[in-house]
Amino acid sequence: MSRLLFWIALAVLVVAAIRSKLRQAVKRHQQPPDPQPVQPPGRAQGAAGQAARARAEAVANAETMLCCAHCGVYYPASENVAAAGRDYCSAAHAQLAPL
Ligand SMILES: [Zn+2]
């Protein structure tokens, strides 16, 4: 009997742990990325400041991604081929009908 209770308790703990992890993952997925910390100019910054600056620069340089109406691949907006009001990743896919 005690063996059965042990296995039931273990199963309950495993299910609780899995649910907790799933809730954390969902919460992390729903939260927007942390805003960049605003640092006063002219202040000495270490490696963390350089990393933050590089991250801010990468965000500023990030390009909008579009989804191809034919194959569904995401590609940079600068490579967009627009045809009949839809966006395509290449001229070949623009000539083919959307799936
Ligand atoms: Zn495509």
**76-91 pLDDT, tens digit each:** 999 999 999 999 999 9
Neighbours of ion ligand 1 (CB under 5 A): 68, 70-71, 89, 93
pLDDT at 43: 57
Residue 61 Cα to ligand 1 middle (Å): 24
CA distance 29 to 22: 10
| pLDDT at position 24 over 90 | no
CA angle 89, 84, 82 (to 5 degrees): 30
- Report yes or no: 79 and 89 within 8 Å, Cβ to Cβ: yes
